[in-house]
Amino acid sequence: MSSDFWKRRSLRVRDNQRTKAAELTLRESLYPLCLVTVLFFLWGFSYGLLDTLNKHFQNTLDITRARSSGLQVAYFGAYPFASLGNAAWILRHYGYRAVFIWGLFLYGLGALLAIPAIMNHSFAGFCVCIFIIGNGLGSLETAANPYITVCGPPKYSEIRINIAQAFNGIGTVIAPVLGSYVFFNFDEQTALRNVQWVYLAIAIFVFLLGAVFYLSTIPEITDADMAFQAAETHPPGEGGGADSLPFRKQYRLFHAAFAQFCYTGSQVAIASYFINYATETRPGTSAALGSQFLAGAQAGFAVGRFAGAAVMHFVRPRWVFLVFLALCIVFAAPAVTQRGDVGLAMLFVVMLFESICFPTIVALGMRGLGRHTKRGSGWIVAGVFGGACVPPLMGAAADLHGTGLAMVVPLCFFVAAWSYALAINFWPWYRDTVDAFSTAEVGVRARPSEGVDDTTGSGLGRGEMSGVGDEEKAGVVTSERT
């Protein structure tokens, strides 16, 4: 019993072995999805906290808006190191659960190291800690986004990821509210001490969550599983055969990564300087009140994700994505010239319609990748690097011309991201691949899966397949065959 327990805790999974994970029903996928959704709340909280600290450090350390964007550069600049580097390697050689544990370890380590950096008033040291935290969160996103997308019936992947990301939005609401009370309503020393306690609590929580992931049995999803899904949704001769193409020719994926870069850069830039925008353009607005306004806007962001997921049940996700991103452009434009309550209201509406864009790009961009899914998810998550590039541009523009006029920077990047929304709706090569998954029946009804491995807690146990060679199992799909 003991040896079997520890054997099931193994973090290494063979990618050429199919499991039942490719055919999970909604009920079977409920527990792993709930567990992974907790991670979305974590990085939503961390992201919301970062936006509040941006303004807090401008006040307490007397730094410029451009320099304060170093927090965003450190946080989002770490993502490519994770999604294309360490996390990508672990994901391909071990599995999703290993990446979850690795990401939580880095997150907790960065939170602990942040405490001495804060005590010594070291902005550079704190940025290094944020880089470590960003590396951990980048690792979690590299695994969690594709896991939510592919764990369960393919036709509901956009709905699943938007609901999970809605809890990310809840985290971004709580953080600014917390910041408005513990960062801006105290003297400098007390506020910095409060930041230390917040990061200590984060570290303790994520280490405990890492232990839960290690002890939990959740289904792993292999390259063979994804090849199976691609084959089920794209019979031979249909859908463009994206899975059969080499990785370098996955042009739809690279376009999605570009859109993610542009969109994330815009989203992060607006949130990072939201408090600055409120205090500069709305007379009588303090930093604490601006933080509460940000919390209200983030609440709209969270509501938009739940509402968007509901709409996707009736309308194709690609159409919802096209309309929401278009409305981001429509309402961001007046925020450049309008001031006071009107300009602030425009940003509220922009953040409402930003809601479904990030997760929907992830879900649509991974459609049809099959055996390339793990590598592809790394590229899409690497697009988050836009959050390290666009805020400094906006910060520099804000130092020269004010935060209001600087809103033209994220507006331009929104327009660039919209090119992917247009392609996914009007270019048949993009559109047909996405629509094939929307009508797939894989996982919608429970059906017997013979010969699948159960090292991850799903399907038949190894004891039930004793005496059967790997290549003789009916469910095996190797990468070479694909």
11's CB contacts (< 8 A; 6+ apart) are 94, 95, 97, 98, 101
Cα 343 from chain centroid (whole Å): 28
Specify the higher pLDDT residue, 434 or 297: 297
How far is 74 from 452, CA to CA, in rounded Å? 43
**Start-to-end C-alpha separation, the chain:** 37
pLDDT at 255 over 90: yes
Q: In which band, very low, low, confident or very high, does the pLDDT at 242 lie, cut at 50, 70 and 90?
A: low
**Rounded mean pLDDT, 263-287:** 89
Lowest mean pLDDT among 124-138, 198-212, 357-371: 357-371
pLDDT of residue 480: 36
Q: Which helix (H) or strand (E) holds 304?
A: helix 287-311
pLDDT at 419 over 90: yes
**Cα dist. 263→77, 178, 430 in Å?**
15, 27, 19
How far is 467 from 226, CA to CA, in rounded Å? 26
The greatest distance separating any two alpha carbons of the chain, rounded to the nearest whole angstrom, comes to: 77
Q: In which band, very low, low, confident or very high, does the pLDDT at 162 lie, cut at 50, 70 and 90?
A: confident
Specify the higher pLDDT residue, 61 or 405: 405
Tokens of 301: 């962001």
How far is 19 from 227, CA to CA, in rounded Å? 12
Lowest mean pLDDT among 53-57, 82-86, 319-323, 333-337: 53-57
How far is 466 from 44, CA to CA, in rounded Å? 45
Question: Cα–Cα–Cα angle for 363, 368, 371, nearest 5°?
Answer: 105
pLDDT of residue 340: 83
How far is 325 from 33, CA to CA, in rounded Å? 27
Q: Are the beta carbons of 307 and 296 closer than 8 angstroms?
A: no
Specify the higher pLDDT residue, 482 or 110: 110
Which 3 state secondary structure label does DSSP give 88?
A: helix
pLDDT of residue 435: 75
pLDDT of residue 464: 34
pLDDT at 192 over 90: no
Task: Quick: pLDDT tens for 283-339.
Answer: 888 888 888 888 888 888 888 888 888 898 888 889 999 999 999 999 999 998 888
How far is 457 from 320, CA to CA, in rounded Å? 36
Lowest mean pLDDT among 12-21, 321-330, 335-344: 12-21
pLDDT of residue 115: 86
Q: In which band, very low, low, confident or very high, does the pLDDT at 240 lie, cut at 50, 70 and 90?
A: very low
pLDDT of residue 120: 82
Tell me the average pLDDT of the chain: 78
Question: Most confidently modeled of 68-72, 81-85, 245-249?
Answer: 81-85
φ, ψ dihedrals at 453, nearest 5°: -75, 155
Q: In which band, very low, low, confident or very high, does the pLDDT at 383 lie, cut at 50, 70 and 90?
A: confident
**Cα dist. 261→80, 136, 345, 383 in Å?**
11, 19, 26, 4
pLDDT of residue 261: 94
What domains sit in the chain, N to C, each tagged with a CATH number? Answer: 20-440 (1.20.1250.20)
Write the burial class of residue 59 (CB in 10 Å: 0-12 exposed, 13-18 middle, 19+ buried): middle
182's CB contacts (< 8 A; 6+ apart) are 191, 194, 195, 198
b/e for 207-238, b at 16 or more Cβ within 10 A? bebbeebeeebbbbbbbbbbbbbbbbbbeeee
Task: Quick: pLDDT tens for 208-220.
Answer: 988 988 888 788 8
pLDDT at 112 over 60: yes
Q: Are the beta carbons of 219 and 151 closer than 8 angstroms?
A: yes
Question: The tokens 């996707």 sit on which residue?
Answer: 312
Lowest mean pLDDT among 85-94, 251-260, 362-371, 396-405: 362-371
pTM of this structure: 0.71
